[in-house]
Structure 1
Amino acid sequence: MKNATIEFIQTGRRQRRRRWVLVTSVLSFFAVVLCGAMLMLGNTIYPVQDVVRVLTGEEMKGATFAVNTIRLPRMVAGLLAGFAFGIAGNTFQTMLRNPLANPNVIGITAGSSAAAVFCIIILQASNTVVSIASVIAGLITVVLIYVLSKRKPFSVGRLILVGIGIQAMLNAAISYLLLVGAEQDIPSAIRWLSGSLNGSQMDELPPLAISVLICVPIILFLSKDLSLLELGEQSAASLGVNTDRTRIILIVSSVVMIALATATTGPIAFVAFLAGPIAKRLVGVGFSNVLPAGLVGVNLVLAADLVGQFAFEVRYPVGIITGILGAPYLLFLLIRMNRKGQL
C-alpha cells in the first residue's frame, strides 16, 4: 500500500514536470517565431535568409538599416520588457496571494511613470537619469504603500486599496505635469505613457538587460520560497522560510525590473497583470510558473506590437492593444472575486 502511494505521487510529479517542460518549450517556440516576425515584417518584408545575413554582419542595401537600426532594437526592447513585466507581475501576485496585487494595479508602475514623465517634461533629462529616477520612485512607492497599509493583522486587501489610492494620486500628478509641460514635449510624453516600442535604440537597453540578467536568476533561485509564501505567512515560516528577508529580496528585484522596463518602453498596460494567471492556467500546480510567466509576457508584448503595427489602418502603440486585452479580464476578475466575497 505504501509503495503504491509513493508510486502514485511520483507518477503525478512526472506528469506535472512533463507539462511544465512542454508549456515552457511551446512558449519559447512562439517567442522565437514572434522575434523573427518582428525582424522580417515592416514597410518592406525581408526573407529569413536576408535577416540572418544582416545579423551576421553582412551589409545589404536597405535591409541593414531597417533590421539593425529599427527592428532589432524594437524586438529586443519588447523581449526584455515583456519578460520583466511578466516575471515581476507574477512574483507580486504569488507573494501576496491575490491576482489584483500586481504592479499595475497597486501603483508601482504609476510611481515609476510619474518620475519618468517629470524627468522627460520638466527636467528634459537623459535616458540614464530617467531610468535611475524610475527605479528610485518605484522603490519609494513600494515603501509608502507598505507603511500606509501596515497594520496587524496584515491584509492584502488593505494593501491593494492603499495602492489603488496611491495610483490615483500619481496619475493626477502625471496629468498635472502634462498640463504644465511645454507643448512640444507633450506628444512624446503621451506616446511614452501609452506604452510603446517605437523609437527604441540599442544604447537605451543595457540597464534593462542588466536588471533582467541579475534579478531573474535571483527570483528563480527563490521560486520555491515564493511558492511557499503563497501558502501564507505562518505556513511558510513553519516550513523554514525567512519570510521577511525573502519578501524584501523579491520585492526589490521585481521593482527594479518593473521600473527599468517602464523607463524603457513606458507602462505597457496589463502585461504584468495577465502573464501570471495565463501561465498558471497553462502550467497547472506543482511547479513554479516564474519562467513561463516571463515567456507569456514576451509573447503578449511582441504579439500585441505586431497587431498594433499591421492589423489596422492606423498604427497603435503596443500598450493600446494590451489594454484592450486586459481591461475585460480585469472586469471579469473583479466580478468573480466579488461573488466569492474576496472584495
Structure 2
Amino acid sequence: MDFGRRALVLRRGRIAVRLPWRPVVVCAVLAAAGAGMAVLALMTGSYALSPGQVLSALTGRETGFVQEVVVEWRLPRVVAALVFGAALGVSGAIFQLLLRNPLADPGIMGFTQGSYTGALIVILVVDGTYTQLAGGALLGGMATAVAVYVLAYRRGVKGFRLIVVGIAASAMLDSLNTWLILKADLDQAMSAAAWGAGSLNGVSWNQVLAGGTCIAVLLLTAGALSRPLRQMQLGDDAAASHGIRVSPARLGLILVGVALTATVTAASGPILFVSLVAPQIGRRLARSAGITLVPAAFVGALLCLASDHLAQHAAPTPLPVGIVTVVLGGGYLGYLLFTEARRRL
C-alpha cells in the first residue's frame, strides 16, 4: 500500500514495522545533537577539559582527577537532564494528544504544582529522604490529577473542561505552596524556594538511577498505551468504535503522564514549560499529522540539557534550569497565543 510518503520497513518473520523516514531522520539528528551537547557540557566548567579528555574518561582510559570531574561530578547532571527532559516531553505529548489542545501541559493544568505541594510538605514537615520526597511528589501529583478529573467529569471528560479546571487547580496550589513557604522556618523556606525553581544542582547518581528506573518503566507503559492514544486522537466515538475503552484508557494515560512529571519534580523540582514546548517542536520537525511520543522525548531531552548548560554558563552566577525553561516556554506560549489569534481573524 502506498501511503504517499517514503517509509522504512523493518521485517522479522511475520512481523513488520513501518516507520516514516522523516521522523527517523529527525530523531537521529536530535540524538546526535544531544550527544554533542552532552560532550560540551562535560567539557565546560571551572575546570575546562578537551573532548579527548572527556572521551578518555568515559571509556576508562583516563583516571585520577579528570575521571572524577567527568564521571562523578558532571555526568550525573548531564544524564539527569537528558532523562528528565525526555520524561517531560513524553508527559506533555500525552496530555496534548489526549485533550487535542497545544496548551495542555502538566504545569498549566496543576499537576506539576500538585507534585510540588506533596514534595514541599515532605521537606517542611518531616525533612525526608529522596525516597520520601519522591513518594510525596507522586502522591501530590496523583491526588491533583484525580481531583481535576473528578471535578471535570460530567457525562464524560471534555478536553476544554479539563484544562479550565486544571488552570483553577494550578492557581489554588500556587497559593498554597506560597503559604507553606511563608509559614516555614527561614532555612527551610530558603531551601524549598531554591528547590522549587527547578534545578539540577546536586543531583547524584542515586537520584539518577532511581528516577531513571521509574521513568523507564513509565515510558514502556506509555508505549504500551500508544495504540489507544492514537485511536483517541480521532475522537472518543471513533476510538470506542474500534474497541477502545475510552474512560479507563484516558485515566491510565493521565496517571502515566502525572507519574512522569512527579518523578522529575521529586528529583529536581518543577522544571516548567519543557512539556509544553517539546511536543509541538517535535511535531513540526517530524511534519507528522499529530504529536508523536518519540520526537517529543528527543526534543525534551535536548531542550532540558541545552537550558541547563545555558543556565550554568550564560550568567555571572549559575541559575536554576527552571528559570531558563520558563523564559523559553513563556516566549513560545506568547508566540502560540499570537498565532492562534491571527488564525481566527
Q: After TM superposition, is the score higher than 0.5?
A: yes
User: In structure 2, what is the equivalent of residue 213 of structure 1?
Assistant: 216
User: In structure 2, what is the equivalent of residue 120 of structure 1?
Assistant: 123
When residues 57 and 294 of structure 1 are mapped into structure 2, their CA distance, relative to the original with a 3 A threshold, is: same
Letter in 2 for 1:266: G
Paired residues of 1:208 and 1:257 also in contact (CA < 8 A): no
SS at match of 1:12: coil
Paired residues of 1:280 and 1:289 also in contact (CA < 8 A): yes
- Cα deviation, residue 244, structure 1: 2.3
- Cα deviation, residue 222, structure 1: 2.5
- Cα deviation, residue 271, structure 1: 0.3
User: In structure 2, what is the equivalent of residue 184 of structure 1?
Assistant: 187
Could you tell me which of 194, 203, 207 is aligned with 2:206?
203
Alpha-carbon distance in structure 2 between the residues aligned to 1:130 and 1:19: 40
Paired residues of 2:121 and 2:136 also in contact (CA < 8 A): no
Question: Is 1:277 paired with 2:280?
Answer: yes
User: In structure 1, what is the equivalent of residue 99 of structure 2?
Assistant: 96
User: In structure 1, what is the equivalent of residue 11 of structure 2?
Assistant: none
Letter in 1 for 2:3: Q
Paired residues of 2:151 and 2:165 also in contact (CA < 8 A): yes
SS at match of 1:100: coil
Q: Which moved more, 1:212-221 or 1:19-28?
A: 212-221
Q: Which moved more, 1:39-48 or 1:50-59?
A: 50-59
Q: Deviations over 1:274-306 (max 9, x none)?
A: 011111111122576201101100011100111
Letter in 2 for 1:145: V
Could you tell me which of 291, 306, 326 is aligned with 2:309?
306
Alpha-carbon distance in structure 1 between the residues aligned to 2:29 and 2:290: 16
User: In structure 1, what is the equivalent of residue 158 of structure 2?
Assistant: 155
Q: Deviations over 1:3-44 (max 9, x none)?
A: xxx5xx334253981111111111111111112122221111
- Cα deviation, residue 54, structure 1: 2.6
User: In structure 2, what is the equivalent of residue 14 of structure 1?
Assistant: 7
- Cα deviation, residue 64, structure 1: 2.7
User: In structure 1, what is the equivalent of residue 12 of structure 2?
Assistant: none
Letter in 1 for 2:246: T
Could you tell me which of 245, 248, 270 is aligned with 2:248?
245
- Cα deviation, residue 312, structure 1: 2.2
User: In structure 2, what is the equivalent of residue 265 of structure 1?
Assistant: 268
Paired residues of 2:280 and 2:291 also in contact (CA < 8 A): no
User: In structure 1, what is the equivalent of residue 72 of structure 2?
Assistant: 69
Q: Deviations over 1:28-75 (max 9, x none)?
A: 111111121222211112123322333344563432332222201111
Q: Which runs of 5+ in 2 are unaligned?
A: 9-18
Paired residues of 1:17 and 1:287 also in contact (CA < 8 A): no
Alpha-carbon distance in structure 2 between the residues aligned to 1:242 and 1:179: 45
- Cα deviation, residue 231, structure 1: 1.4
Could you tell me which of 49, 53, 58 is aligned with 1:55?
58
Aligned residues, how many? 334
Paired residues of 1:13 and 1:286 also in contact (CA < 8 A): no
Letter in 1 for 2:293: V
Question: Following superposition, which runs of at least 4 residues in structure 1 exceed 6 angstroms of deviation?
Answer: none
User: In structure 1, what is the equivalent of residue 295 of structure 2?
Assistant: 292
Paired residues of 2:98 and 2:159 also in contact (CA < 8 A): no
Q: Which moved more, 1:50-59 or 1:162-171?
A: 50-59
Q: Which moved more, 1:148-157 or 1:311-320?
A: 148-157
Letter in 2 for 1:296: V
Q: Which moved more, 1:315-324 or 1:287-296?
A: 287-296
Q: CA RMSD in A?
A: 2.0
Could you tell me which of 129, 140, 152 is aligned with 2:143?
140
User: In structure 2, what is the equivalent of residue 3 of structure 1?
Assistant: none
When residues 313 and 114 of structure 1 are mapped into structure 2, their CA distance, relative to the original with a 3 A threshold, is: same
Q: Which moved more, 1:74-83 or 1:224-233?
A: 224-233
Q: Deviations over 1:154-176 (max 9, x none)?
A: 43222111111111111111111
Letter in 2 for 1:31: G
Identical residues among aligned pairs (%): 34
Alpha-carbon distance in structure 2 between the residues aligned to 1:13 and 1:142: 40
When residues 238 and 13 of structure 1 are mapped into structure 2, their CA distance, relative to the original with a 3 A threshold, is: farther
Question: Is 1:106 paired with 2:115?
Answer: no
When residues 338 and 156 of structure 1 are mapped into structure 2, their CA distance, relative to the original with a 3 A threshold, is: farther
Alpha-carbon distance in structure 2 between the residues aligned to 1:170 and 1:50: 46
